[in-house]
Structure 1
């Protein structure tokens, strides 16, 4: 009886191990897809933020008007993207940034010199995979565009001189 019970349990364990391996593979695929979607959303938000809103004759400061999405559809839409990484301004604290960006700034600020994306990814808890490193690089470039970081040499990131001077002041 023990042999029969052992054989049954062994068969169930093997079946569960196969299912666990399949789920692990699916998890990797879904995490990768999620990462790409996050990057796509951020890129789309940046592009939408740069798009002119409204009609060309609209005076500045007036609320945005609907713009045609396509001359073929006749549908209207409002550009309502949010700017998750604001442009750095005097006395602005990094607390206004999303957590991932704050983590990146902490690593760059604490580094003894310029850092690369592939050095930052593991320090913020991401695997050193190409897709993750590219996601970090995208965030680094966004922080450069918005004045939080400098990239004097391509691929090497340092805290922005203005941000460093501002954040080192005591209140």
Structure 2
């Protein structure tokens, strides 16, 4: 028959084990919360950047007093300046990198290049997917993402505990 103290020792060991499990679970929940906070801040900054880009300044107007030179034949009326045409080439480099890091951090798992490309707003064309692959390979060389199987990428383990703000690492507390 077990003595009273042996039974107390056993019960203490069980409770200590439960406390350790709860501490581990709490640490994992805190880490997840920190990742979500980083994701929210990054998404908010991306949305702010996009809305700021939408506000284009008005085109300069010519003054009403401007007159063409009088010497020689009168030239045709001046044409208003055209808006510059910029070919749609997909997501810009900085924006793509930011979106990739946010996506992979929030996913917490490996993702295919094609799925990453579509999720960050690229067209599903081979050219845009290869551009995304190139960007992911570059991020892998920098240690920000890792490539498991060919074409499958995930956030690097060290990036999960470090937020990236404007291209600089910001340690979490």
Task: Give the TM-score normalised by the residue count of structure 2.
Answer: 0.41
State the structure with bigger RCO (CA 8 A, min sep 6), 1 or 2. Answer: 2
User: Whose Rg is larger?
Assistant: 2
